[in-house]
Structure 1
């Protein structure tokens, strides 16, 4: 059975996709993003899944995508920001090289922008992001082997910090 080399978790705007791409290049592996898997499975973008089918349908697709990716992918795995909401997903991540990319609100807003379609951030994005982080932070830290602060770091510096963190926190 293979397991991901690195699993990245964190809120929208933390840099999971950007940093994941750099990590995959450095480690000589591929990046798999479970949000992209969900969109491929559903045949439509995540905002449309939320609108057409509702958040519970999206969360079910997301949990299934994470299960498949953890079982099949041996490269860098980037999880959607809310994937840790599911207790079965958190249990599945136990023992894996999970890194929580932590980011401050102001930085996340700058990175994400407020015009990007993100269903859970559609109304009052700053307040909603803060509320999501209050809810999810304990789950991110529960599943993480290491926490990497992204504030005032370039994506390349964050990728280096992820590799260093995993070397200092082996399984």
Structure 2
């Protein structure tokens, strides 16, 4: 959350002269409401089902750069679909997450008494899943989105000649 997936994804797409797609945006468009509202109105299990379907559709229909929501890797079928693809896992430390997002209520999984602790717990629970599907891990701390995009292109050896 807040690592810059969408911003970096858009930059990567521009640099690769490819289309860009974000599964969170797909869900918002198909449901007609924000993800935080889906969580509140329909619950996390419903959102995760929507997310899994959105990822399946995007991977079947889209050949460019794709950004997935932070919880997409919780689904085993999603992790299986990502196998062998050039996936980059963007990381950051909790202090950077606080600076970037303020750990605000707009993040439905962080609407708790101690959002810093919740963020740390989510990362501890998910980190092994992210590394399972990622071909490369790129730290975003103290980097501009442009620098992160360059690092991803270099790490995945995707620089256009």
* Match 1:33 to one of 22, 27, 36: 22
Cα distance in 2 for partners of 1:161, 1:18 equals 14
* RMSD after superposition: 1.1
1:161 is matched with: 151
| Contact 2:97–2:103, Cα closer than 8 Å, also in 1 | no
Give runs of ≥4 in structure 1 deviating > 4 Å. Answer: none
Shift of 1:115: 3.3
Specify every segment of 5 or more residues in structure 1 that has no aligned partner in the other structure, as ranges: 1-11
Cα distance in 2 for partners of 1:107, 1:80 equals 18
| Corresponding residue pairs, total | 157
Cα distance in 1 for partners of 2:76, 2:133 equals 10
* Match 1:106 to one of 95, 105, 109: 95
* Match 2:126 to one of 128, 136, 143: 136
User: When the two structures are superposed, what TM-score results if normalisation uses the length of structure 1?
Assistant: 0.89
2:49 is matched with: 60
SS in 2 for 1:51: helix
Cα distance in 1 for partners of 2:43, 2:123 equals 21
User: When the two structures are superposed, what TM-score results if normalisation uses the length of structure 2?
Assistant: 0.94
